[in-house]
């Protein structure tokens, strides 16, 4: 029969109390006896005994505490190791900045797709799984390599996830590594046809998102293999180059190919990361006539893979998360830039025809209409707002006048008149050229000015190393091509003719 816990506690307390009373009584008797014979020694002896008793009690409590785990040695729940703090902080800051950027994207479908990507990166950062992706041509033996690893690696293997077209992902656990490993077999690259191109795009996407890449070849690198491998290495993708099917080569040829591979990739991949294996050796016929199938020879890969993941796993995760967040940020910035450019182009298009209409109705000397039509202060203010720059009227007017002087000093005004006059003379129209040439020129110069300011605001209110003159000259060259001029003149005549009829 088991006693209730309260009974055990009560018995223990009573026992301790009895022992304490006995100890006190014994110490008192000792003190009295010594004080009768040697009074000066009684007190030191009593103090010494009390100190020894206290030390004994403290020692008992300490060792019992160690045994019970009171002092922190109790087995703690296993925690995932943290990725390097600086890189994690940088990736987190990037994701927060990206979330703010994404709110500026107007297209709902595009914005939601990027939001989903951002969330996936954040979830990967939180989970801390190591993503190992097997990449290469369909004939290099990637699937055989996966099967060999799964058959040999120490630890648990989860069921495959995904589909054949997107590759299958297995979850692995490696002894000595706390993090879970995701091992993904990708579709083959360099396959023919539209479907092959689509599968290759999926494979490249998976390779770009890997923490560690296993690039599989079955011979010396071809140019079509070398280019994607080096491209992934240049963006910071950690790779192991796997030379598979070594059982098909004599030892001397195998060693020669390994040496060539090491030489070709030495700028990005260390020699020890070029590994020769035979994931699915071919059966051989013995002298007895019996068919013998050798075991997969992948131990060098497993050994190197384990060493890399144990030594660099945390950095690989952090570097990849940082890379993915930076790539997503760049994609978001490109979308926002394209969106802003479209909005700014509409503003320029609107003001160029406003200016053309004003000058056509009231012809002015060239120098005067530069200030009224081609360089429009309000246009500059509106373009600035699109790029988050709130300019006051005085600042915008100063910029407008400065660019107007640049147009004149570079001879762009005269050049524009000559270009447009030539384009108008070969145009079979009955329109009165004498009255419309200034309006069309005004529209053309307004376009050059507006597009110059778009670049100015895109570069965070900077004209670049060449200054305003180079920026304006570049826009003039872009807008003087024959095909554009013909279309522009036709559009200008239609706009101005309609305006006159109205």
CA dist 106 and 496 (Å) reads 33
Q: Which tens digits make up the pLDDT trace of 417-451? A: 777 777 666 554 544 455 567 777 888 888 888 99
**Residues 337, 458 contacting (CB under 8 angstroms):** yes
At 70 the three-state DSSP class reads coil
**Residues 96, 314 contacting (CB under 8 angstroms):** no
Instruction: List beta partners, residue 281.
Output: none
Half-sphere exposure of 85 (CA within 13 A, CB side): 0
Q: Which two tokens stand for residue 498?
A: 């309609």
Helices 433-458 & 467-478 angle (0-180, nearest 10): 130
Q: What are the C-alpha distances in Å from 25 to residues 29, 31, 36, 87, 413?
A: 6, 10, 17, 67, 117
**Residues 239, 233 contacting (CB under 8 angstroms):** yes
Show pLDDT as tens, one digit a residue, over the chain (502 residues). 444 556 666 676 677 778 777 777 777 777 667 676 666 666 777 677 777 777 777 776 665 554 444 444 444 444 444 445 566 677 777 777 888 888 888 888 888 888 888 887 777 767 678 889 999 888 888 888 988 888 765 444 444 444 444 568 888 877 777 778 889 888 888 766 777 788 888 888 888 888 899 999 999 998 888 998 998 888 888 999 999 999 999 999 999 999 999 999 999 999 999 999 999 898 888 878 888 888 889 999 988 988 898 888 878 877 787 787 778 888 888 888 999 999 999 999 998 888 777 666 665 554 444 545 445 788 999 999 999 898 898 888 888 888 888 887 888 877 777 777 776 665 545 444 555 677 778 888 888 889 999 999 998 888 888 888 888 888 888 887 777 777 787 777 777 654 444 4
């Amino acid at each position: 029969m088991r006693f209730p816990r309260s009974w055990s506690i009560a018995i223990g307390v009573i026992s301790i109390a009895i022992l304490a009373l006995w100890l006190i009584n014994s110490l008192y008797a000792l003190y009295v006896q010594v004080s009768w014979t040697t009074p000066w020694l009684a007190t030191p002896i009593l103090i010494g005994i009390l100190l020894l008793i206290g030390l004994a009690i403290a020692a008992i409590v300490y060792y019992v505490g160690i045994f019970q785990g009171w002092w922190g040695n109790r087995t703690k729940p296993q925690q995932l190791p943290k990725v390097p703090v600086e890189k994690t902080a940088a990736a987190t800051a990037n994701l927060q900045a990206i979330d703010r950027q994404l709110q500026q994207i107007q297209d709902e479908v595009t914005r939601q797709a990027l939001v989903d990507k951002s969330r996936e990166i954040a979830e990967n950062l939180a989970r801390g799984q190591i993503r190992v992706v097997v990449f290469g041509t369909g004939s290099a033996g990637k699937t055989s390599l996966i099967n060999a690893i799964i058959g040999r690696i120490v630890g648990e293997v989860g069921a495959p996830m995904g589909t054949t077209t997107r590759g299958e992902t297995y979850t692995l656990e490696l002894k000595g590594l706390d993090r879970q490993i995701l091992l993904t077999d990708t579709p083959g690259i360099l396959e023919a046809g539209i479907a092959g191109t689509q599968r290759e795009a999926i494979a490249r996407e998976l390779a770009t998102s890997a923490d560690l890449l296993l690039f599989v070849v079955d011979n010396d690198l071809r140019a079509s293999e070398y280019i994607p491998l080096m491209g992934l290495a240049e963006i910071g993708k950690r790779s192991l180059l796997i030379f598979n099917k070594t059982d098909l080569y004599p030892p001397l040829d195998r060693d020669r190919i390994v040496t060539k591979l090491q030489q070709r990739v030495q700028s990005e991949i260390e020699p020890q990361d070029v590994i020769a294996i035979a994931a699915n050796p071919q059966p051989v016929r013995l002298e007895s006539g019996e068919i013998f199938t050798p075991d997969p020879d992948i131990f060098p890969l497993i050994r190197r893979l384990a060493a890399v993941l144990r030594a660099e796993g945390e950095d690989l995760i952090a570097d990849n998360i940082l890379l993915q967040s930076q790539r997503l940020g760049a994609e978001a910035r490109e979308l926002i830039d394209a969106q802003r450019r479209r909005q700014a182009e509409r503003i320029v298009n609107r003001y160029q025809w406003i200016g053309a209409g004003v000058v056509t109705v009231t012809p002015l000397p060239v120098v005067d209409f530069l200030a009224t039509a081609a360089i429009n202060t309000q246009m500059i203010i509106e373009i600035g707002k699109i790029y988050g720059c709130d300019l006051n009227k005085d600042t915008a007017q100063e910029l407008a006048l400065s660019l107007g002087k640049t147009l004149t000093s570079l001879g762009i005004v005269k050049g524009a008149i000559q270009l447009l006059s030539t384009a108008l003379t070969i145009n079979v129209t009955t329109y009165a050229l004498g009255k419309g040439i200034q309006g069309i020129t005004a529209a053309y110069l307004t376009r050059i000015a507006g597009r110059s300011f778009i670049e100015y605001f895109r570069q965070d209110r900077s004209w670049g190393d060449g200054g305003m003159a180079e920026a304006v000259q570049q826009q003039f060259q872009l807008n003087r091509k024959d095909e554009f001029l013909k279309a522009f003149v036709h559009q200008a005549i239609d706009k101005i003719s309609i305006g006159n009829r109205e």
